[in-house]
Amino acid sequence: MRKALTPLGETEMEVLHHVWELKNASVAEVHERIRETRKVAYTTIMTVMKNLANKGYLAYDKEGLTYVYYPARKPEDVQHALVSGLLQKVFKGSAPALIQTLVKNEDLSDNDKREIIGLIDSM
């Protein structure tokens, strides 16, 4: 039985996105990508990646002295699980309340609005 996904912090989500993009990555590769936009310690990224593996988001193989991490779950599955948790915890299971909050409180472009309307119409 798979354990339930636990919520993610901002850095955890950032690291997870990089691993999804790379398909598999060492700590050094993820650290290098994050350093392009902000200063962060190598050991911080190493700890975050270990934690993501412990939480069931990443898995890893040891290649020589290097741990190579890869997604343990598909991005869509993670996104669905996290949004479902948010929906239950914050909106008491009300999808209309969640959507209303997103639509009313976000600065949506006309393109975004058309895309959302298209998605709703296709349902």
Which CATH number characterizes residue 63's domain?
1.10.10.10
Residues 89 and 44 in one domain: no
Task: Say how many C-beta atoms besides its own lie within 10 A of residue 94's C-beta.
Answer: 13
Find the domain containing 40 and state its range: 10-71
Query: Which two three-digit tokens encode residue 113?
Result: 């609005």
Residues 35 and 17 in one domain: yes
107: pLDDT strictly greater than 90:
no
**Sequence-ordered list of residues with C-beta below 8 angstroms from that of 70, at least 6 positions apart, any chain:** 19, 23, 24, 25, 58, 59, 60, 61
Residues 82 and 29 in one domain: no
Query: Tell me, what's the pLDDT at 15?
Result: 97
Residues 64 and 85 in one domain: no
Residues 80 and 45 in one domain: no
Cβ neighbourhood burial of 82 (10 Å; 0-12, 13-18, 19+): middle
Count CA atoms within 13 Å of residue 31 on its CB side.
14
Residues 67 and 14 in one domain: yes
Pick the last residue of a domain from 71, 87, 108: 71
Residues 44 and 82 in one domain: no
Cβ neighbourhood burial of 41 (10 Å; 0-12, 13-18, 19+): exposed
Of the chain, the percentage scoring pLDDT greater than 90 comes to 67
Residues 23 and 67 in one domain: yes
pTM for the whole structure? 0.80
Query: In which band, very low, low, confident or very high, does the pLDDT at 4 lie, cut at 50, 70 and 90?
Result: low
d(C-alpha 112, C-alpha 118), whole Å: 10
- Provide mean pLDDT across the span 36-44: 96
Residues 34 and 22 in one domain: yes
